[in-house]
Structure 1
Amino acid sequence: MALTITELLEAGPDPMPFDILRAAYVELHVRDLAASRRFYVDLLGLVVSAETDDALYLRGWEERVHHSIVLRQADQAAAARLGFRMRADADLDGLAHVLEGLGCTVWWVDGALPEMGRALRARDPFGFPLEFFHEIGLLDSQLQRYDLQRGAPIMRIDHFNLHSPAMEETFAFWQHLGFRCSEYISTDGEPEDERLAGAWLFRKPGVHDVALTLGRGPRLHHVGVWVPEPGGVLRTCDQLAAAGAGAAIERGPGRHGVSNAFFVYLRDPDGHRIELYTCDYYTGDPDHQPLRWSVADPRCRSFWGAVAPDSWYEESTELLGPDGRLIPTAAANLDERRARTQVMA
């Protein structure tokens, strides 16, 4: 039986014999690499680190690592991997032991992606495709190449948001890997009946590296990328509209209650959801306490801004299994939209 939210928060993150630094890269499969290149490079302005006939390796303007977004030509759109960077290569060995104890299938690869060393790949008990690595090639930061920058500009990858029907169990899994909770949304009522609708968990001292959203899953709800200031979000919307791509704007601009982020959600040509994200806050103090939001609070999902469309709750990127097939999904037994009163989503 899953722990209650109170029990989960009282348990807190497990002490770990390894150090997961942050969310580091995502690999997305796309059906038309040229169309994806136009969206991510020409319109959003990401930096191309390398390009092959079937893949594109991208990074943000301040990033020194070789890539944070990998786009790969494929017959079906899906998320192939969610990558996390470790502080040291030796951390991978202790992590492998812990993951196996948590019911994950794990295996090793070496040099599977350009400029990367050995990596630990895992399929967690819920179906999410994870990868952990330390070694990756470094390139020059383009932070101050103001003469070249395009788009918002996007500076770096920030987080993954995962659609999960098993929120409490998934929350506990990430706590077992040493992740801390910054904020969460839950239903009202007696503690034993309280249910999670959303949760934000972090390793770096920001609001999150992994967020959980209640819904059909396992699926990837979105990839969050960090931009320097709210004006960049607005500038991106103007640029997309001017390029005839305004339909890519799914939700926002607006400000979240949770995280305080100024945001806009975009859909790429394959429907993968990208969040441009800025203005969150520091969580690095050891006594940081999780902030609770009631699911009935109209400010939790949107402090201000238009109501989220149904697509934001119902559509997400499906995941690839080790056999190259899509991972089956299951519906959640609670709909956040039905658990609230007149609420802006």
Structure 2
Amino acid sequence: MSRARIYFLSLLAGLALTGPGRAEITGPTAGAETGTLTLILENDLFYNLDRHYTNGVQAVWTTARDEVPDWTRRWARWVPFFAQDGHVRAVFSLGQNMYTPSDIETRDPPLNERPYAGWLHGSAGLINETNRRMDQLQLTLGIVGPASLAEPAQKIVHRLTDAPKPLGWDTQLHNEPGIVITYQRSWRYDLVETTGFGIDIMPHVGGAVGNVATYADAGFMLRAGWQLPADFGPARIQPSLPGSGFFEPDARHPVGFYWFLGFSGRAVARNIFLDGNSFRDSRSVDRKVWVADVQAGVALNIYDARVTYTHVFRTREFSGQPEGDEYGAVAVTWQF
């Protein structure tokens, strides 16, 4: 896994930088009228760990700007916090998350350890964007428990990679349908804008309500780079800093990159992967109310493709957790 990180960083270092300008949503763009497919992998093995939030995969399809049915645009205009003059996109995703205790080679993990859990989920949502603001409203439905297929998925991957066999999946959370409604608003403000080079900041607020997760969050992301594309940061699997599954490079200068640094704080009222099942007795731990993420990484866009790498630091999520977690996230986006 670490070789993947070295590859992306070396690719960035070898890039020749030429041409002035910065992409704007209102200007000429490459692939502005196309949809985008984003594939996301989040895994703690990037840092030789195998615990807690240990793996997440997600495929996301985002439609082109305003390439949605008329009834969808009309419905979006009724959402009170959407900009009335904003562009509308639809977004659909399918993904799976895995959670384990810190020692996966124990058949009966201690009761004060994070329980085994899987989360198979699909989402549909709307994005409303202007040149400086993005609103995201999303409905996620899924299943927690054995039906999420997290157990066979992890065992297959560990067998193929010759990693230790996880032995405690018999103690995982029970099957439970899940629903989460998520809303995020992000703004983008220029701090420095010169010929080719730019720095901007993107504060955000939002939250989620549901039996799987309920929280409120706020934070910011700082970007600095060359030919900054008009996006809102790298795509991530929620809960996390919000990002965009689409990007708008300038057709005149379609090669660019940026570094980013972000922070998000969450007040957590419900986390099924720590609190346990909603309607049945299950394993659980004492959830912490305040959780923070710090992320840093790099994004590279070349014509119709964008590659991002993110290093995430997460504070302790439950009492008795000896230290915070960290994991890596790779996202690849193509415009079609």
- Structure whose alpha-carbon radius of gyration is higher: 2
More helix by share: 1
More strand by share: 2
Task: Give the TM-score normalised by the residue count of structure 2.
Answer: 0.29
